[in-house]
């Protein structure tokens, strides 16, 4: 049985004073047991001994005292905590067109987004990749329309590219970028090198799966058909996602590998690229750092300087990228970002790819390396090289000024 509190009249009067609503006692006829009586055209009132929804069984009484209620609920008298950016409890009905969305976390159709571009930017800025990607399904469920198609009709230029990139999973975006780098008359070798040299085994294997599913052709076959020579061998090796991931380092083996690299390059007429490929693409990162240290000690020259002396073109760029990622991945990406924004034109595709793919991985470390190596913050560099909503969204991915 639900008991009406003794102070209910005073509570009702207080409510009336605060809201301007004066309740009419005849609106709430009572029957034994404390339930409202049947209303005209409505269902009959439950009997006193009948279970009523989720209320306790007869004789149980309602829970009293602090902490009672459902698990995790607020103490009595405190307001229920809402979700971040949750819609109002009773949102107004949208009007068509250009209506605000009933759920502010989703773009509204009819030529606008909840709150316009500002509202849509707020959604992208405030959510992680795992929270953004499901918006595609939610949008289609709510409106029966494809969010990507609607965005393409509304947006343009680099801002459109950035927004669409943020709505892909990391593997989907990497697979897309690799496909774009390969297709057409020219090949973007730098993109192929950047992605394959910097991703983990698990990431590369997932990229392979997505690439095959979306293109009906394996990544390895696509690379093999678009590159050649030792550069192709380097990319195919990296695309296997099969690097040793052990953290154990045997210094004696590291010295042997350092000697092997020296014999294959500096101490040989010509260069044995296959030896470099076998060691740099298969050994663990921890082991290779020890190898680089031993190499420096052995021949008095940094491994990168030796690669620059012994190789050229795309193979040189690829080998250097592998070494730089082994030594310090954030510093490698800081260098890539600096080059993308250096000079008259901006390499926006590179800028977008790195900011999107590293924003939830090591962006803080990249910012620190950028400041240390180039004397200004990444935030300042982006601010001076971009504009508009494109700049705002990039700066959000950057995360702050150093």
pLDDT digits (tens, 9 = 90+) for 274-305: 999 999 999 999 999 999 999 999 999 999 99
Residue 58 lies inside a defined structural domain of this protein = no
pLDDT over 50 at 128, yes or no:
yes
Q: What does the block give as tokens for 128? A: 């992680």
User: Same structural domain for residues 295 and 308?
Assistant: yes
User: Same structural domain for residues 176 and 158?
Assistant: no
Strand segments (E) across 111-204: none
Give the residue, 36 or 236, on which the prediction is more confident: 236
Nearest-5° Cα angle at 318, 248 to 166:
90
User: Same structural domain for residues 179 and 221?
Assistant: yes
User: Same structural domain for residues 189 and 222?
Assistant: yes
User: Same structural domain for residues 298 and 338?
Assistant: no
User: Same structural domain for residues 150 and 190?
Assistant: no
User: Same structural domain for residues 266 and 211?
Assistant: no
Residue 386 lies inside a defined structural domain of this protein = yes
Residue 148 lies inside a defined structural domain of this protein = yes
As a whole number of angstroms, the distance between CA 83 and CA 219 comes to: 41
Q: What does the block give as tokens for 389? A: 């909503």
Residue 292 lies inside a defined structural domain of this protein = yes
Q: What is the number of domains present in the chain? A: 4
Beta carbons within 8 Å of 262's beta carbon, 6+ residues apart: 295, 298, 299
What 3 state SS string does 209-248 have? HHHHHHHCCCHHHHHHHHCCHHHHHHHHHHCCCCCCCCCC
Radius of gyration of the chain (CA): 31
Q: Which domain holds residue 188?
A: 171-240
Q: pLDDT by residue (tens digit) across 158-192?
A: 999 999 999 999 999 999 999 999 987 789 999 99
Under 8 Å between Cβ of 124 and 163:
yes
pLDDT value at residue 217: 96
User: Same structural domain for residues 221 and 181?
Assistant: yes
pLDDT value at residue 44: 53
User: Same structural domain for residues 302 and 353?
Assistant: no
User: Same structural domain for residues 229 and 270?
Assistant: no
Residue 124 lies inside a defined structural domain of this protein = yes
As a whole number of angstroms, the distance between CA 25 and CA 12 comes to: 11
pLDDT band for 212, please (50, 70, 90 cuts).
Answer: very high
Domain end residue (candidates: 322, 343, 370):
322
Share of the chain above pLDDT 90, in %: 63
User: Same structural domain for residues 226 and 190?
Assistant: yes
Residue 120, burial from CB neighbour count under 10 angstroms (0-12, 13-18, 19+): buried
Token look-up 């300042």 returns: 380
As a whole number of angstroms, the distance between CA 227 and CA 221 comes to: 10
Residue 57 lies inside a defined structural domain of this protein = no
Q: Is 36 helix (H, G, I), strand (E, B) or coil?
A: strand
Mean per-residue pLDDT, 237-251: 97
Token look-up 């913050």 returns: 377
Q: What does the block give as tokens for 213? A: 């599913």
pLDDT band for 206, please (50, 70, 90 cuts).
Answer: very high
- Listing DSSP states for 40-56 in one string gives TTSPPPPPTTS--TTSP
Q: pLDDT by residue (tens digit) across 74-121?
A: 455 454 444 445 444 444 444 444 444 444 444 443 334 455 556 666
pLDDT band for 247, please (50, 70, 90 cuts).
Answer: very high
Residue 56 lies inside a defined structural domain of this protein = no
Token look-up 């470390």 returns: 365
Residue 101, burial from CB neighbour count under 10 angstroms (0-12, 13-18, 19+): buried
Domain end residue (candidates: 213, 240, 267):
240
Share of the chain above pLDDT 70, in %: 70
CATH code, domain with 300: 1.10.220.10
As a whole number of angstroms, the distance between CA 384 and CA 31 comes to: 73
pLDDT over 90 at 60, yes or no:
no
Residue 25 lies inside a defined structural domain of this protein = no
User: Same structural domain for residues 255 and 318?
Assistant: yes
């Amino acid at each position: 049985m639900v008991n009406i509190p003794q102070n209910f009249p005073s509570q009702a009067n207080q409510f009336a004073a605060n809201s301007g609503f004066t309740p009419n006692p005849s609106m709430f006829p009572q029957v034994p047991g404390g339930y409202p009586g049947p209303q005209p055209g409505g269902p009959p009132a439950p009997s006193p001994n009948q279970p009523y929804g989720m209320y306790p069984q007869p004789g149980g009484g309602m829970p009293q005292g602090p902490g009672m209620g459902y698990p995790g609920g607020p103490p009595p008298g405190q307001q229920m905590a809402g979700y971040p950016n949750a819609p109002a409890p009773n949102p107004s009905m949208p009007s068509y067109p250009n209506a605000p969305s009933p759920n502010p976390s989703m773009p509204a159709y009819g030529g606008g987004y909840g709150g316009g571009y500002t509202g849509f930017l707020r959604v992208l800025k405030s959510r992680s990749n795992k929270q953004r990607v499901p918006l595609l399904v939610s949008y289609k469920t709510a409106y029966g329309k494809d969010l990507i198609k609607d965005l393409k009709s509304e947006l343009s230029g680099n801002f459109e590219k950035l927004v669409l990139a943020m709505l892909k999973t990391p593997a989907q975006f990497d697979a897309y970028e690799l496909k774009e780098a390969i297709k057409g008359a020219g090949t973007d070798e730098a993109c192929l090198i950047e992605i394959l040299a910097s991703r983990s085994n698990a990431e590369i294997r997932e990229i392979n799966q997505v690439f095959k599913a979306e293109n009906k052709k394996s990544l390895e076959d696509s690379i093999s058909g678009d590159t050649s020579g030792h550069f192709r061998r380097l990319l195919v090796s990296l695309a296997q996602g099969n690097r040793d991931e052990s953290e154990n380092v045997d210094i004696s083996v590291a010295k042997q590998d350092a000697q092997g690299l020296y014999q294959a390059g500096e101490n040989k007429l010509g260069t044995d690229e296959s030896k470099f490929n076998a060691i740099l693409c298969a050994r663990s990162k921890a082991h290779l750092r020890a190898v680089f240290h031993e190499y420096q000690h052995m021949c008095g020259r940094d491994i990168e300087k030796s690669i620059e002396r012994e190789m050229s073109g795309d193979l040189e760029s690829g080998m250097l990228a592998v070494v730089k990622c082994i030594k310090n991945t954030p510093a490698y990406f800081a260098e890539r970002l600096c080059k993308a924004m250096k000079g008259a034109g901006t390499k926006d595709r590179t800028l977008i790819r790195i900011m999107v793919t590293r924003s939830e991985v090591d962006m803080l470390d990249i910012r620190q390396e950028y400041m240390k190596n180039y004397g200004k913050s990444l935030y300042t560099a982006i601010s001076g090289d971009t504009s508009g909503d494109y700049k705002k969204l990039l700066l959000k991915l950057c995360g702050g000024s150093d």
